[in-house]
A and B are shown apart, each in its own frame.
Chain A
Amino acid sequence: MAGVLREWLFTTDHKKVGILYLIGSVAAFAVAGIMALLMRAELSAPGPTITANPSQYNVWLYFHGAAMILGFQIPALTGFLANYLVPLQIGAKDVAFPRLNALSVWLFFAGIILALLTFVLPDPPDVMWTGYPPYSEITQGNTAFYSFTVLLLGFASILGGVNFLTTIAFMRAPGMGWNQLNIFTWSVFAAFILQLIFVPVLGTAVTMIMFDKYLGTNFFDPTQGGDVLIYQNLFWFYSHPAVYVIFLPFIGIVFDIVATFARNRIFNYKMVVYGGIGGILLLAGEVWIHHLYVTGMPDWLRVGQMVTTLMISVPVGLMFIGLVGTLYKGSITFNTPMLYALSVIFLMLIGGLTGIPLAVASIDINLSDSYFIPGHFHYVMAVAGTFAIFGGIYYLFPKMTGRMYNEKLGKTSFWITFVGVNLVFFPMMMAGLEGMPRRYWDYSQFPQVEGLHHLMTAGAVLVAIGFFLALVNWIQALFKGQPAGNNPWGSRSLEWTTASPPQHGNFPEIPMLSKDWSPYAYGSSQ
């Protein structure tokens, strides 16, 4: 027993590291989800309900936002899925630096531990996930813990980036060219380039608030020549691209799932990779100022940002065409992973289309800091990303465990969650249009949105039930699931050509690939 524990906790094997990331990030998801339920309980009726202390709501909101993004989605996508899949998809024995990989996952654990201490600290951080000064510098709360959580998780990401970019660039199986990579591997490559460029900027920003608050520096203190807006710029300089750090791998796994279950080649592969992924890489760093429309800025900047932001819909649109084209004339089976993947297309459509008006400064100035904003970003990133991650977990479940989950329970849980999220987030956008401001713990002043709040709370309960059923399904299948075989989905991609679970070193021997090999060669004899 001790031996098994040692082998897992201190492992350097990318598959086990991936599963450690999975466990850690799902734990973060569960706790952050409980925070969401607490917020929804507080908002179930106007006036104080489960707490009479507004700062308590701030702490929940802080933990929910920070843990969902930094502790769940980014680690689940670039930690769990990337670790598990990338070396297998490129036909490598492991990542380039296995020990560094173990360091990444342990720094991630350290970050999660720090975040969880929120619940036992005397003055927990209450700075939302954005940590804006001046509030973060004058609050009683422990802003240092916010900064250090971001720094630890960021450091883990940077080391992950160093490792994976090197791995993908230099360790592909003999014969595998760049145009033969899975879309998922491509998306991880792009996401890590973004992480390497932008995470350090966030790290610097949160370091500055910590220095200001505890060491007496003046970065954001206008009375000493500092400037508060510098923080907002640095923060969004990272946090807008962070949306793509989440978006790229989640759309990447959706591509792989869709191709497998539609039995089709990726439609317009090169357009998806160079136009879609490449286009996003190019534009990611040029649009952050759309988060600052309500601060004073010259009009040419507002208009310029409007243009670049709207331009993002071009690469996203190319990916959309790629997905729909891959479905077209496919022979589709609707297993649980596929349901999740298809729902991501739908959720992204709603989230993406509601984002277009927000790119327009004159509209955004009115909707900024209203409930429309969390409604929009939960659709486009939070929920779409989570559904892609869940789809990915179901998709890889037979590979990771050698066993099959319960398909019927999987589908039931999917539909419950799907109905639930729409009940939460569609009304959330409507409440925003009705004037409900973001980050309020009480809406007595806005009686017009009470009915919508009831819907949202009911939806949140459904979501919780749905996710809980998924968890039950996995745990049950882990012990009692039917043997799944090596390739239950009939995929052509390399990860499915080896044993389930793959042995140490992944392949009995490293695959040699021909020039016209493709991970998506359906319909051709291979």
Chain B
Amino acid sequence: MSDHAAVHEHAEEVSIWPAVISIGILFAVPFAFSFHFVYHNGLYAALSLGLGVPMIVMGIVGWVYEALHSEPVAEGLAPPAMGWFILAEALIFLSFFATYWVVRLGAPVWPPEGTVELPKLMPLVMTTVLVTSSFTIHFAEGRLAQGDRRGFINWLILSMLLGLAFISMSAYEWNHLLHEGFTPATNIFGTAFYTITGFHGAHVIVGLGIFTAMLLPALRGQVNEGLVKSGSLYWHFVDIIWFFVVSQVYFWV
């Protein structure tokens, strides 16, 4: 019996997944980027990506399952921790917006030369979709609190579909604008437009990743409530940032 306890404690002290994820990031991001953009070596860039991305995915999957099977050190701390994280995230967007405000308010003419007309309808549709998804994930959480796992899964899947729709519309729109010759290099507005919408889109994708990490175990009957609560908190945050993107980038003319 005591033997068993010792083994158990050991298992909790060690985890290889953080190391796997970190080394994966090292390959997938700095190495791949540098090989491609700095040293112009496409083969090595592809190899770095090919090595790094699977490591990251494997690491996250391993981590999620390990977390489901071990006792947390303390219960219920994921949502406040997510709160701190969101503070940091908010500052990233604030920096980009501040940069945008400074160049825009200091510009002699606005919009700068080369800017094309931005669509107005698409961002409104995107807003509707994203706001709806904030509600659906809230409903999912509510279902879970009532012990209705089936309902939770359904609302979660709906939220993910809405998130996917949002990303697809965003990709469609980028594609459209790039074809009209409006690129990040066109002028300072192109720079601001693509980085701000791009960072926001990246956050939506991360949110979808978190949702996937909730969905897959849930389909097999395992739910990590801390992850669900903090994941939906994150999603609401991404939603709120979108209001700034829409009002500052699309509709402030």
Q: Say yes or no: A227-B102 contact (C-beta < 8 A), given A110-B23, A204-B96.
A: yes
Contact B19 A230 (CB under 8 A): no
Binding-face segment, B118-126, B185-193, B209-217, B233-241: B185-193
Q: Say yes or no: A200-B15 contact (C-beta < 8 A), given A98-B73, A109-B22.
A: no
Q: Residue of A at shortest CB range from B20?
A: A106
Asked if A302 is an interface residue, CB under 8 A from chain B, the answer is: no
| Size category, B interface | 35 or more
What separation, in Å, do the CA atoms of A303 and B85 have in the docked complex? Answer: 35
Contact B74 A10 (CB under 8 A): no
Residues of B within 8 A of A114 (CB): 26, 30
Asked if B92 is an interface residue, CB under 8 A from chain A, the answer is: yes
- Tell me how far the C-beta of A313 lies from the nearest C-beta in chain B, rounded to whole angstroms: 27
Asked if B61 is an interface residue, CB under 8 A from chain A, the answer is: no
Partner pick for A166 among B18, B30, B77, CB 8 A cutoff: B77
Scan A127-144; emit 1 where CB is below 8 A from any B CB, else 0: 000000000000000101
Contact B73 A97 (CB under 8 A): yes
A-B contact count (CB 8 A): 174
What separation, in Å, do the CA atoms of A109 and B88 have in the docked complex? Answer: 22
Residues of B within 8 A of A161 (CB): 84, 88
Residues of A within 8 A of B80 (CB): 166, 169-170
Asked if B7 is an interface residue, CB under 8 A from chain A, the answer is: no
Asked if A353 is an interface residue, CB under 8 A from chain B, the answer is: no
Contact A103 B22 (CB under 8 A): yes
Residues of A within 8 A of B145 (CB): none
Residues of B within 8 A of A199 (CB): 88
Residues of A within 8 A of B21 (CB): 103, 106
What separation, in Å, do the CA atoms of A144 and B36 have in the docked complex? Answer: 11
Contact A162 B38 (CB under 8 A): no
Q: Residue of A at shortest CB range from B17?
A: A99
Q: Residue of A at shortest CB range from B80?
A: A166
- Tell me how far the C-beta of B226 lies from the nearest C-beta in chain A, rounded to whole angstroms: 10
Contact A226 B191 (CB under 8 A): yes
Residues of A within 8 A of B102 (CB): 227, 230
12 further interface pairs, Cβ-Cβ under 8 Å (given A170-B74, A196-B91): A9-B19, A12-B12, A99-B17, A106-B22, A144-B37, A145-B34, A163-B81, A196-B88, A198-B91, A205-B95, A211-B195, A218-B190
Q: Which residues does B use to contact A, with CB under 8 Å? A: 9-10, 12-19, 21-23, 25-26, 29-30, 33-34, 37-39, 63, 66-67, 73-74, 77, 80-81, 84-85, 87-89, 91-92, 94-96, 99, 102-103, 106-107, 112, 183-185, 187-191, 194-195
8 smallest A-B Cβ distances: which pairs? A225-B188, A106-B22, A148-B30, A204-B95, A216-B185, A103-B18, A200-B91, A102-B18
